[in-house]
Amino acid sequence: MDSLTLPGLAEIEAAAGRLAGKAVVTPLLESPALNARIGGRILLKPETLQRTGSFKFRGAYNRLSQLSEVQRQAGVVAYSSGNHAQGVAAAARLLGLPATIVMPGDAPRIKVANTKGYGAEVVTYSRRAEDRRAIAEAIATKRGATIVPPYDDPDIVAGQGTCGLEIFQQAEALGVGLDALLVCCGGGGLTAGIGTAARDLSPETEVYTVEPAGWDDTARSLAAGQRLANQSPPRSFCDALLAEEPGVLTFDVNRRIAAGGFAVTDDEVAEAIRYAFQTLKLVVEPGGAVALAALLAGRYDARDRCVAVTLSGGNVDPELIARLLAEG
């Protein structure tokens, strides 16, 4: 993909202007208990507190707010396991346009219910037997609607980049420089957005992706220098991060700015969810807890370093978090 199509800091700042008064400026939190456990200074970015419960609202609203009036009347179609679905549905409601979301039949019930609650039509499919993108494209073609992809879009990436813009502005306000930033990664949109902001605002900060074990396509692609797909990946409860391969645009960005990637097991993620709930007093979904899991499991050595960690979403079924807490 031509690098001229990639968003830069100017596009991220423009997205921040569109999101002003719409998205939540989530805080940068610090826990003395976590600092003591890790032996460094850890700053948490809880996008669990974002509108719709994840960072995905940022990119969705930035994309939808730039549609023409003709495009708005025809509506939008998206495909998502849940967080992008909710982001698009909520943005569509705010902008007064119809939205249809293609979601897997095994998506967490809370994500499906919330998506419908924002007024979107939900079409379900089999994650292992059907192609969600093909389904979405067929619907969009029939209705003349606009496809809103979950990550492989410059406006989506720029919107997610506002999370990074806030992180660096907030860290500067605290008077600290970040040695590293751990980012929850599925298709790579959040990493690409945050990394783009880091390149201009804090080039000394190392950006790392964190993915579920067996679904670490971005980490392996970064190491290989080319896009690699997951081969027969295992089941994982990190539903928000189960991308089959990195996005074309997102990998083009991430291969330039990411320092590497880590993978964590479901058991390590479960421990991070329990730690977030019991110690940090935050509800974090599996996909949103992988970066914290990498920190707690020692994948990244943060001793004597200042590290920011994204908590990218908090949309978890009550039954799941109750079971995880009971097992702990």
Note if 3 is an active site residue. no
Give the tokens for residue 245: 């391969």
How far, in Å, CA of 207 to CA of 190, rounded? 11
Can you tell me the distance from the alpha carbon of 194 to that of 207, in angstroms, rounded to the nearest whole number? Answer: 8
The two tokens of residue 266 are 């479901």
CA dist 150 → 3, 142, 249 (Å): 20, 21, 12
Query: 124 has which bridge partners?
Result: 103
- Catalytic residue chosen out of the listed positions 45, 56, 81, 221: 56
Helix axes 9-19, 189-201, angle to 10 degrees: 110
In 3D space, the residue among 277, 309, 285, 306 whose CA is nearest the CA of residue 295 turns out to be 309
The string of DSSP codes covering 141-154 is: HHHTPEE--SSSSH
* Residue 252 token pair: 């083009």
Q: Note if 312 is an active site residue.
A: yes
Catalytic residues: 56, 312
